[in-house]
Amino acid sequence: MELLEYFLPDASTLSLKHWELDAESHQMVLTVCSTQAVGCCPLCQSLTGRIHSRYERTLKDLPLAQFGLTIVLEVCKFFCLNETCRRRIFTERLPTMVAPWARRTRRYAEQLTAIALSLGGGAAVRLGQHLNAEASRNTFLHLIARLSFPETDTPRILGVDDFALRRGHQYGTILVDLETHQPIALLPDRRAETLAECLKAHPGVEILSRDRSKTYKRGMNEGAPEAIQVADRFHLLHNLEETLEKAFKGHNQVFRRVEQAQTPDHAVVAPESPEPLLPSAVTKRAQRLERYQQVHALRQQGFRIEDIAHHLGMGQRTVYTYLSHETFPEWQPSIRRRGSGLDPYKSYLLELLDDNEPVG
């Protein structure tokens, strides 16, 4: 076997006829022919050895070192001898090497697909230029779109939740196999009917986990009435958090009185001692801190200020302010003095503060 034959896509069905190498343009061309004596009709699957004609297919293949590799493949056209078959003539297929009609070998297409799956369109183009695997952005994206979905069994425990296609405007539904922790389907909306249809088409789910919305409950009752429905942990904790926040929020004045009762009458808080934060203020601070970190993270990824503001649903001025601070800007508590003229309005102002996200 000639050395170059080891590099052929499938040496068992191909024979190398000759090769050319152009050192200047870094291109190599291998001319190969099929060694299959018979062809299999793609319509009726009957075998035939009666050749109609021969023709050449030019295929791009994986690069060899610094050389781009082109394979000129000589294949046959066969007559189908099955008289009941509608196909009279068919072209020889080499399924291990190349798909029908394709202009790339299978292994080269697989390499491009792997790059596209890892990097997406634009970055795949940039890496491809370095790897001698050049293709356009659209080609990379088409390769991904052409992939078939892996076959999955209907899961026993299924998680259902919504996700934002565009936050505040358009939502879809994601279905997750909670035993393998793999997403298995995306539904185009979050309507009960869509979920019910999907569950009916894939019977056998035993446990359904969901948020506490009535829509999904209705979809599950319709689509899989025999399955047990459970509230998922995330939404239970989230609901608890919201409830506690609401409960504390309504009692600011009580917290204030408790705080005043514990503070000696004549005490004046020094500027460096921060005012103790009320529970709702603790939550607010955590939310602000999270926002602050998200703003900086998005900016580092190169997003524009208006895009960050849009994405996080906040004002551009706040984004500017957050970006101008290298460390998290704490909300500055006022210095309390006995008998301040502000005292009569303090509870009112605190309520306002709780209701409005402070800027900066």
- Closest distance to Zn ion from the beta carbon of 47 (Å): 10
- Closest distance to Zn ion from the beta carbon of 163 (Å): 48
Helix, strand, coil % over all residues of the chain, rounded to 5: 40, 25, 40
Query: Of 35-43, 232-240, 318-326, 331-339, which segment contacts Zn ion by CB under 5 A?
Result: 35-43
Question: Residues 70, 82, 91, 194: which binds Zn ion (CB under 5 A)?
Answer: 82
The DSSP code for 245 is: H
- Closest distance to Zn ion from the beta carbon of 48 (Å): 8
DSSP assignment of 144-173: HHHPPPPP-PPPSEEEEEEEEEETTTEEEE
Which CB atom, from 90 or from 292, has the smaller least distance to Zn ion?
90
Residues 6+ apart with CB under 8 A from 118: 124
Which CB atom, from 80 or from 187, has the smaller least distance to Zn ion?
80
- Closest distance to Zn ion from the beta carbon of 181 (Å): 47
Cα–Cα distance for residue pair 159/155, rounded to 1 Å = 10
Selection from 357, 350, 349 nearest residue 321 by Cα: 357
Q: Does 38 bind Zn ion (CB under 5 A)?
A: no
Two tokens, residue 203: 């019977």
Which CB atom, from 78 or from 248, has the smaller least distance to Zn ion?
78
Provide the pairing of β-strand 207-210 with 228-231: parallel
Q: Does 87 bind Zn ion (CB under 5 A)?
A: yes
- Sign, CA dihedral 275-278-281-285, equals positive
Two tokens, residue 241: 């958090």
Cα–Cα distance for residue pair 255/253, rounded to 1 Å = 5
Give the x-and-dash track for 41-60 against Zn ion (CB under 5 A): x-xx----------------
Which CB atom, from 93 or from 137, has the smaller least distance to Zn ion?
93
Q: Does 32 bind Zn ion (CB under 5 A)?
A: no
Query: Of 78-86, 113-121, 212-220, 285-293, which segment contacts Zn ion by CB under 5 A?
Result: 78-86
- Closest distance to Zn ion from the beta carbon of 225 (Å): 49
Q: Does 176 bind Zn ion (CB under 5 A)?
A: no
Which CB atom, from 94 or from 308, has the smaller least distance to Zn ion?
94
Q: Does 158 bind Zn ion (CB under 5 A)?
A: no
- Closest distance to Zn ion from the beta carbon of 83 (Å): 9
Q: Does 116 bind Zn ion (CB under 5 A)?
A: no
Total residues contacting Zn ion (rule CB under 5 A)? 7
Which CB atom, from 83 or from 355, has the smaller least distance to Zn ion?
83
Q: Does 85 bind Zn ion (CB under 5 A)?
A: yes
Which CB atom, from 41 or from 62, has the smaller least distance to Zn ion?
41
Q: Where are the alpha helices (DSSP H) in 147-278?
A: 192-201, 214-223, 233-249, 252-262
Which CB atom, from 93 or from 191, has the smaller least distance to Zn ion?
93
Two tokens, residue 124: 């795949």
Which CB atom, from 43 or from 297, has the smaller least distance to Zn ion?
43
3-state secondary structure of 250: coil
Contacts 24+ apart (CB under 8 A), 88-95: 89/52, 90/39, 90/41, 90/42, 90/43, 91/55, 92/34, 92/36, 92/39, 93/39, 93/40, 93/42, 94/10, 94/13, 94/14, 94/34, 94/36
- Closest distance to Zn ion from the beta carbon of 77 (Å): 13
Amino acid, res. 109: A
Residues that bind Zn ion (CB under 5 A): 41, 43-44, 80, 82, 85, 87
